[in-house]
């Protein structure tokens, strides 16, 4: 008896494999997608009814006979249809499978036909209970087992003589219960994986959409920030001035400026905001606006930075700060009067000398300390003299061995370029930094300004 039950189960499992292949095919089609999203159109409903009804017919035809009654997985199609496509599809598929079984006749025709119809209807009821999501695998398998036990009960209830009905149930019950449970487990697992796959894809698409949106916003921010940099360097009598800023990301915290003042004077600014990306860019915009306003208001550079520091502190509580060098170039006197708010000391190379003078800080960074007073110094910029202003993205650029480019290499590079125009000197320094860093990514903003006396 046990050997026969195992043999019957193996035959039924072979049938299940065919059904599962067909089921996998339908789950990847639009009608089943509509079913999962609970928006079935009449056309898709009809297609699914016919498909699962055909599976029920196949489950009948491919079964094996025991005591004149077929052992099959006819109920599997309607059960799956009801559980995952709703009561209309489940009932429709059950009616197709049930009518087909009824016209075949036989000792168990009536209870088997009724069971097939009810399999689709009960499955649809469970679908309704789980209307907020797909039916769980465990629930689906438990339903398949319970439905086949109910099926066996109908056979015992409606078929006579009872002894014959009992013998049929005793021989076919266990193989049919196990086969339908196994088939339901595989199909429910397919659906569960499909739902997970769809959810993952939706999350991935949403993430990519958000990423694209942020990328577009960053691009707009970069374009806006670019407008804060001077569109052109103002011409100056007796001087050649060039500058460039290369953010490490879409937006950065470095900036430079050349502010045309009265009486043939020009304000030169180079600055580096603490932090990176959007917060630094916003702080940069605030700092640049304030410096420009103060530069036009105060003739003395020390007063400009003192008032700018006070205003920056009053307008921002982010805890950020900005290192900044501000100098006023007098074209007639050929002098630069400057104040250095904690910025990298610019390098002054005078004509006929290979030694650099470092224009040291005269106070701390703007936005760091309240009521700060800034000292100021004056240097001459004669013909052939060269002043290089830079941010720490230049000297702190690293190579694959984490070695920094450093101030020494910067000086050596400038010495080799001292006879060239300001713009070419900047390009030469940038090329030297890129050659030094190689394939290492730029991790900090790089800004350079070169003033050359001519």
Residue by residue, DSSP assigns 262-275 as STTEEEEEEEEESS
Domain assignment present for residue 211? The answer is: no
Same domain, 33 and 112: yes
Domain assignment present for residue 221? The answer is: no
pLDDT at residue number 231: 77
In tens, the pLDDT along 198-224 reads: 888 888 888 887 878 777 666 766 666
b/e sequence 382-397, b meaning 16+ C-beta within 10 Å:
eeebbbbbbbbbbbeb
Domain harbouring 195, CATH code: 1.10.1760.20
Same domain, 116 and 57: yes
Same domain, 36 and 87: yes
pLDDT at residue number 210: 82
In tens, the pLDDT along 15-53 reads: 666 667 777 777 778 888 888 888 899 999 999 999 999
Same domain, 300 and 171: no
In tens, the pLDDT along 300-356 reads: 999 999 999 998 888 766 678 899 999 999 999 999 999 999 999 999 999 989 999
Same domain, 233 and 198: no
Same domain, 174 and 243: no
Percent above pLDDT 70 for the chain: 88
Domain count, the chain: 2
pLDDT at residue number 98: 93
b/e sequence 245-254, b meaning 16+ C-beta within 10 Å:
bbbbbbbbbb
- Write out the residue range of the structural domain in which residue 39 sits: 2-205
C-alpha distances in angstroms, 300 versus 287, 291, 307, 374, 432?
A: 18, 13, 11, 11, 36
pLDDT at residue number 274: 81
| Mean pLDDT rounded to a whole number for the chain | 86
Which range, of 277-281, 383-387, 423-427, 443-447, averages the lowest pLDDT? 277-281
Listing from the earlier edge strand, what are the strands of the sheet with 377-380? Answer: 254-260, 265-273, 322-330, 335-341, 377-380
Percent above pLDDT 90 for the chain: 50
Return the SS3 of 159.
coil
Domain assignment present for residue 212? The answer is: no
Same domain, 197 and 295: no
Domain end residue (candidates: 205, 239, 262): 205
| CA distance linking residue 31 with residue 21, whole number of Å | 17
Same domain, 271 and 420: yes
Same domain, 307 and 396: yes
CA angle 309–372–280, rounded 5-degree value? 35
| CA distance linking residue 81 with residue 27, whole number of Å | 11
Give the burial class of 442: count Cβ atoms within 10 A of its Cβ; 0-12 exposed, 13-18 middle, 19 or more buried: middle
In tens, the pLDDT along 93-143 reads: 999 999 999 998 888 899 999 999 999 999 999 999 998 888 999 999 999
Answer whether 155's CB lies under 8 Å from 168's CB. yes
Output the pTM of the full model: 0.59
Domain end residue (candidates: 157, 172, 205): 205
State which H helix or E strand residue 406 sits in.
helix 406-417
pLDDT at residue number 426: 96
Domain harbouring 366, CATH code: 3.60.40.10
């Amino acid at each position: 008896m046990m050997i026969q039950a195992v043999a019957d189960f193996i035959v039924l499992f072979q049938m299940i494999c065919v059904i599962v292949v067909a089921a996998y095919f339908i789950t990847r089609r639009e009608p089943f997608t509509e079913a999962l999203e609970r928006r079935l159109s009449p056309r898709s409903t009809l297609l699914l009814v016919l498909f699962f009804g055909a599976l029920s017919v196949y489950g009948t035809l491919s079964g094996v006979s025991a005591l004149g009654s077929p052992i099959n997985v006819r109920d599997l199609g309607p059960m799956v249809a009801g559980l995952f496509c709703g009561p209309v599809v489940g009932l429709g598929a059950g009616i197709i499978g049930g009518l087909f079984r009824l016209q075949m006749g036989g000792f168990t025709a009536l209870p088997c036909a009724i069971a097939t119809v009810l399999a689709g209807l009960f499955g649809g009821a469970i679908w309704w209970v789980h209307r907020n999501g797909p039916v769980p695998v465990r629930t689906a398998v438990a339903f398949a087992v319970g439905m086949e036990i109910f099926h066996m009960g109908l056979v015992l209830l409606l078929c006579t003589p009872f002894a014959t009905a009992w013998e049929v149930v005793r021989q076919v019950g266990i193989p049919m219960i196990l086969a339908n449970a196994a088939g339901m487990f595989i199909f429910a697992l397919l659906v569960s994986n499909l739902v997970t796959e769809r959810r993952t894809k939706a999350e991935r698409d949403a993430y990519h959409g958000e990423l694209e949106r942020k990328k577009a916003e960053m691009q707009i921010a970069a374009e806006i920030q670019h407008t804060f940099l001077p569109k052109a360097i103002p011409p100056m009598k007796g001087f050649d001035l060039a500058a460039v800023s290369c953010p490490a990301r879409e937006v950065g915290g470095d900036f430079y400026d050349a502010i045309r003042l009265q009486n043939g004077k020009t304000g030169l600014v180079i600055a580096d905001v603490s932090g990176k990306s959007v917060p630094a860019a916003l702080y940069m915009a605030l700092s640049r606006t304030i410096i420009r306003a103060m530069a036009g208001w105060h003739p003395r550079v020390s007063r400009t930075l003192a008032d700018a520091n006070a205003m920056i502190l009053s307008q921002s509580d982010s805890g950020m700060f900005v290192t900044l060098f501000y100098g006023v170039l007098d074209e007639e006197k050929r002098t630069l009067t400057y104040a250095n708010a904690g910025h990298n000391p610019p390098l002054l190379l005078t004509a006929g000398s290979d030694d650099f003078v470092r224009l040291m800080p005269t106070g701390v960074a703007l936005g760091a300390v309240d009521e700060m007073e800034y000292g100021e110094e004056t240097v001459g910029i004669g013909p052939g003299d060269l002043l290089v202003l830079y941010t720490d993205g230049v000297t702190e650029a690293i190579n694959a061995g984490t070695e920094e480019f450093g101030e020494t290499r910067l000086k050596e590079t400038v010495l080799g370029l001292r006879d060239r125009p300001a713009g070419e000197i900047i390009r030469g320094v940038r090329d030297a930094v890129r050659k030094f860093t190689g394939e290492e990514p730029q991790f900090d903003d790089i800004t350079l300004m070169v003033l050359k006396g001519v």
